[in-house]
Amino acid sequence: MPECWDGEHDIETPYGLLHVVIRGSPKGNRPAILTYHDVGLNHKLCFNTFFNFEDMQEITKHFVVCHVDAPGQQVGASQFPQGYQFPSMEQLAAMLPSVVQHFGFKYVIGIGVGAGAYVLAKFALIFPDLVEGLVLMNIDPNGKGWIDWAATKLSGLTSTLPDTVLSHLFSQEELVSNTELVQSYRQQISNVVNQANLQLFWNMYNSRRDLDISRPGTVPNAKTLRCPVMLVVGDNAPAEDGVVECNSKLDPTTTTFLKMADSGGLPQVTQPGKLTEAFKYFLQGMGYISGACVSLGGQAYRERPGESSQESNSRPPGDRAPLQPVWGQAGQREAKPHSETRRGHRAPEVPGEHGWDGWLHT
């Protein structure tokens, strides 16, 4: 891969062109961060707030970032011709190796939301050696049955497409309150995303099959995600039940479940600071930030010997020695070798009755 591919690219894949935006340049042998947005959005609407957050930029300067737009969902996309067959969710996942190979990435850390989380999970199941870790927000591992299909069809008859999509993205409470955020997304979904192309993506997402994963040991030859996973959902999100079920199907030794307090359907937009903090711990668990560092409010602090992160964080700022995160050198981990980290290294525990959730309440 050349020094810098910064900018927009159209990548040929077995199932058509894929619009990709690269930010930054490769950092040695570190994985790329690859994002995939939810239905109704594109990479800008889904991730700009999160990736433009100051502390997140401190992280991403150590990685190349690859934003993937689902076919026809990018800003300014041409409308697909009559009769165009939108790729299935499995085919969307099968398009991603072409992106990885085109840029010469060895493996990626995926960050997906909703439909994008499903695509990345499917990608990791089919091509496990290309995926180093996954952050899956608002993922629903279940396919759509006939009742769900009928309800979706009925909703399409009584609501506009943007309003139907909004009910997928936001909680009922958020919609009833009609917050500025909801109003903004209604306007942008209506005017920024090509409506015909969006309808095709929406229809395909609502025709998806079960993700077909099971917790290891529960069934013979269980399929599961082999990489570290961080599941994320707001405690007031429409996807909450789906994410809880997904958590029950994953390996508990490599999965972290983050339920964000006082958060609705788009935690990466409404609470980018808390999500960034969790992502730092996730990277620490994979060996990309030294375990001797914990981050608090954009500043990193060293723990005292024998002291927990919670005890360290409870001390006043003047009693903590500031320390910048220690990033592993290119191709060298601070924790475990690649195969060990991918197969069984667990993210560090965070104090709280409900794991990450208890910590993020504070």
Task: State pLDDT tens for residues 190-233.
Answer: 999 999 999 999 999 999 999 989 998 888 887 899 999 999 99
Residue range 7-15: mean pLDDT, rounded: 96
Query: In the block, which residue shows the tokens 């399929």?
Result: 223
Residue range 107-129: mean pLDDT, rounded: 98
Model confidence at 181, in pLDDT bands (50, 70, 90)?
Answer: very high
Residue 18 or 312, more confident? 18
Check residue 183 and give its pLDDT: 96
Q: How many percent of the chain have pLDDT more than 90?
A: 67
Output the CA–CA distances (angstroms, integers) from residue 357 to 146, 227, 280, 317, 343, in the order listed. Answer: 34, 22, 15, 23, 25
**Hey, which CATH number is domain 7-291+331-360, 3.40.50.1820, 3.40.50.1970, 3.60.20.10, 1.10.10.10?**
3.40.50.1820
Do 273 and 335 meet the contact criterion of CB atoms below 8 Å apart? Answer: no
Output the CA–CA distances (angstroms, integers) from residue 231 to 105, 211, 316, in the order listed. Answer: 24, 15, 31
Lowest mean pLDDT among 13-22, 226-235, 277-286, 340-349: 340-349
Alpha helices in the chain (DSSP H): 43-51, 54-60, 89-94, 96-103, 115-126, 146-158, 161-169, 172-177, 180-191, 195-205, 240-248, 267-270, 272-285, 309-314, 338-344, 356-360
Contacts of 350 (CB under 8 A, 6+ apart): 281, 309, 356, 358, 359
- Each domain of the chain, given as residue ranges in start order, spans 7-291+331-360, 292-325
Interstrand relation of 131-137 and 65-69 (parallel, antiparallel or unpaired): unpaired
pTM summary value: 0.81
Check residue 147 and give its pLDDT: 52
